[in-house]
Amino acid sequence: MIELNTPQGDYPVSAILFDKDGTLLQFVSLWGSWGECFLDQFARGLEQRGLSFPEHQRASLLGTVHDAAGKITDYDRNGPLAMGTMNDLYAILSWQGYTLGLSWAEAVELVDACRNAADAMLEQSRPVRPLPGLVPFLDACAAQGIPMAVVTADETAAAESHLRWLGIRQYFTAVIGTDQVERGKPFPDMALLACGRLGVSPAEAAVIGDTNGDMRMAKAAGAAAALGIAGGITAGLTASAATTTAGRGRDDAGGTADASGRGPATADLQAAGTLLPDADCVISSYSELSVRRMAR
């Protein structure tokens, strides 16, 4: 068995399950681009049908934070873009189109066209970046022979693509998307399925994620540890709270820098902990984690 070492305690584990967005890859780099394209296409489609998209509703629809130019700069970790399934997002936009005057059929067709445009943009630009310290940590886990899996609210095919774009697909024995289970996060289904694929008991697996949905999934599955990662901490705040940090600088990791520029401020990390109340511990980056083989 392997010991997973964290700043707040050590956990004996036989496997590690990772969320994808915000945990393996930087959330805004991928989903900010996707969300901007999706919302722009949606607004354009409404205009072509003689309707207008209320600008003040852009952020509230998916749980995003926008700058003055409309660019997505952050997201609410408790919002639909962070925690919802793709079908959840499509339903939200379809409902918006319906309330603005489209028939339900027209709204669904418009959202499908927007999804295709946003997906095509991602395929062409591939705006993915790994979280700082991720690859060295994956290398360390692989060197110790730790089985690893991805458990994501995204669909499996898309997740497979994103992992290949990042160049890290080879680290994972299994990739479990929400389309493979009856219930997504915060229910335990994905974690249980992943543990089954890895051949380990859930009680011997650690879960690493960036939302409390990940933490609740881990608890529901009876996982050995639920670890919250909060590298891009302003993304963990609600939309209203995140705007108060807009004047701060950004570090190279995409997180909020303190006045000295040394990375996430302590107060911000503490704030992240309040958004991950079910986490056994909260870390700011993978550099805080290590693994070692336990003595027999």
State pLDDT tens for residues 44-72.
Answer: 999 999 999 888 888 788 888 888 888 88
Confidence of residue 165 (pLDDT cuts 50, 70, 90): very high
Return the structure tokens found at 289. Answer: 């984690």
Q: Output the pTM of the full model.
A: 0.79
- Closest Cα to residue 82, out of 57, 58, 99, 65? 65
- Closest Cα to residue 130, out of 18, 24, 234? 24
- Lowest mean pLDDT across 109-123, 174-188, 235-249, 276-290: 235-249
3-class DSSP assignment, residue 64: strand
Q: For position 273, what pLDDT does the model report?
A: 63
Asked whether residue 181 carries a pLDDT value surpassing 90, the answer given is yes
> Looking at residues 166-177, what average pLDDT do you find?
97
Q: For position 263, what pLDDT does the model report?
A: 41
* CB-count exposure of residue 119 (10 Å: 0-12, 13-18, 19+): middle
Confidence of residue 176 (pLDDT cuts 50, 70, 90): very high
- Lowest mean pLDDT across 20-29, 76-85, 260-269: 260-269
Confidence of residue 267 (pLDDT cuts 50, 70, 90): low
Cβ neighbours around 89 below 10 Å, total: 21
E strand or H helix at 93, and its extent?
helix 86-99
Q: For position 101, what pLDDT does the model report?
A: 95
E strand or H helix at 35, and its extent?
helix 33-48
Q: For position 170, what pLDDT does the model report?
A: 98
User: What mean pLDDT value characterizes the chain?
Assistant: 86
Q: For position 202, what pLDDT does the model report?
A: 97
Q: For position 245, what pLDDT does the model report?
A: 34
Asked whether residue 264 carries a pLDDT value surpassing 70, the answer given is no
Q: What is the C-alpha to C-alpha distance for residues 195 and 178, in angstroms, rounded to an integer?
A: 15
Task: Note the pLDDT tens digit of each residue in 194-224.
Answer: 999 999 999 999 999 999 999 999 999 999 9
Q: In residues, how long is the chain?
A: 296
- Lowest mean pLDDT across 29-33, 36-40, 192-196, 266-270: 266-270
3-class DSSP assignment, residue 186: coil
CA dihedral 247, 251, 254, 259 (to 10 degrees): -40
> In angstroms, how far apart are the furthest CA atoms of the chain?
71
Looking at per-residue confidence, does 236 or 178 come out higher? 178
